[in-house]
Structure 1
């Protein structure tokens, strides 16, 4: 099966939730490891390579927000945050520090499986390479190319490691060069989630995206342009 090699870290301080998630995900042939607190989760996530992390937001000690924030300084592992109802502010924080998706408790285990599959499809190069396509979905600019079949970004010939959300943001902007998008549009199109007044999620991701591109290519980083008072656009830098 296509999932066999996908390794997932399930993080929750409640054993019954870890057991439930493990049972459903193992039925799909995923390899499951567990962590019962934030400290343990962070140590595992840094020392090992997971294809995805299911991360509880509210935990004693190191909470999900802090785990995500510290992990994002080192890795782009896809993260789905598990949150309780009424934690709207925390969810906004989660997106700001680099969470790729969230699921509200109490959840349906089937929904979790579907969300996991969707995020793995969006983030795993091999899943895209296995798909037969008549034409390759590649966008090429001077200094930057985006291979959407492989979910691979290269700047001046070097690979750029992006989280799924950073990738989706870049790809969305690059598909419409010179078109200006306001923050509300980007939240709706890239996050599929509408915040009211909490638009700094977009700014945070743009900043992180520019920093990652800048480490590899200054010219590629310049393509993400701020349109003051409006939003952002993708502008092609000439050779």
Structure 2
């Protein structure tokens, strides 16, 4: 199956590197522009692989699987996948799906400059100077605490992608709690109140938060 899909995508013009196990995907995902992921793998299942990749990387992920129930599709997307394609799927449709995900990822990179591109991120009416640690909404300066700013930074650097609660806690607070994320919830409420942009930050229940696609697309 891996060889057949690889051959089809190569014929469609993609450079393909294959991994036959979840461990192989985890070892090599940083080399990829997009990850095409099956749910049924011989070691870890694809959902576990997706969750682990998403906790450390914003690389686009597409599930390409025979598992076709609504529950499977919803779970895959909630864990951070960018698309879920059910097999069988024609070569050209699959290629088009890959191209669409890559296109959205490139738009996000253009819309959200990194620090080496001036350090200023502009998302709709929100302007964040990552170097000066200044935030404005529609020209209005918004004073944030240190933790609130770091929380916003983690989300704004990966627009449109779900950032897990565990990753946020690790990056902002320096640890990952066993279960209690009340601290994160309190800071999120305060951040949303100060920004006064109700649809900017979306809660993905049971997973984490993300800058909504409306704002991620500019």
TM-score, structure 1 as length reference: 0.52
Q: 1:48-100 CA distances to partner (integer Å, 9 max, x unpaired)? A: 33110000011222010000111111111100001225432222221121111
Shift of 1:24: 2.9
Aligned mates of 2:69, 2:110 — CA distance in 1 = 34
Structure 1 unmatched runs, 5+: 1-16, 130-136, 146-154, 167-204, 226-231
In structure 2, distance between residues paired with 1:43 and 1:99: 18
Task: Report whether the alignment pairs 1:44 with 2:10.
Answer: no
What stretches of structure 2 of length at least 5 have no aligned partner?
A: 112-121, 128-134, 138-148, 174-186, 202-218
* Conserved 8 A contact 2:12-2:92: no
Task: Tell me by how many angstroms 1:161 deviates.
Answer: 3.3
Q: Which residue of 1 aligns with 2:192?
A: 223
Q: Kindly report which structure 2 residues correspond to 1:31-180, keeping only aligned pairs within 5 A, or say none.
A: 31-45=15-29, 48-125=30-107, 139-142=124-127, 143=135, 160-162=156-158, 165-166=160-161
Partner Cα separation in structure 1 for residue 57 and residue 50 of structure 2: 10
Contact in 2 for aligned 1:26/1:32 (Cα 8 Å)? yes
TM-superposition CA deviations, 1:105-151 (whole Å, max 9, x none): 1111111000000000000259969xxxxxxx962425269xxxxxx
Is the 8 Å Cα contact of residues 121 and 128 (structure 1) preserved in structure 2? no
Aligned residues: 154
TM-score, length basis structure 2: 0.56
CA distance in 2, matches of 1:122, 1:60: 31
Structure 2 CA distance for aligned equivalents of residues 224 and 103 of structure 1: 37
When the two chains are superposed, the root-mean-square deviation of aligned CA atoms in Å is: 3.9
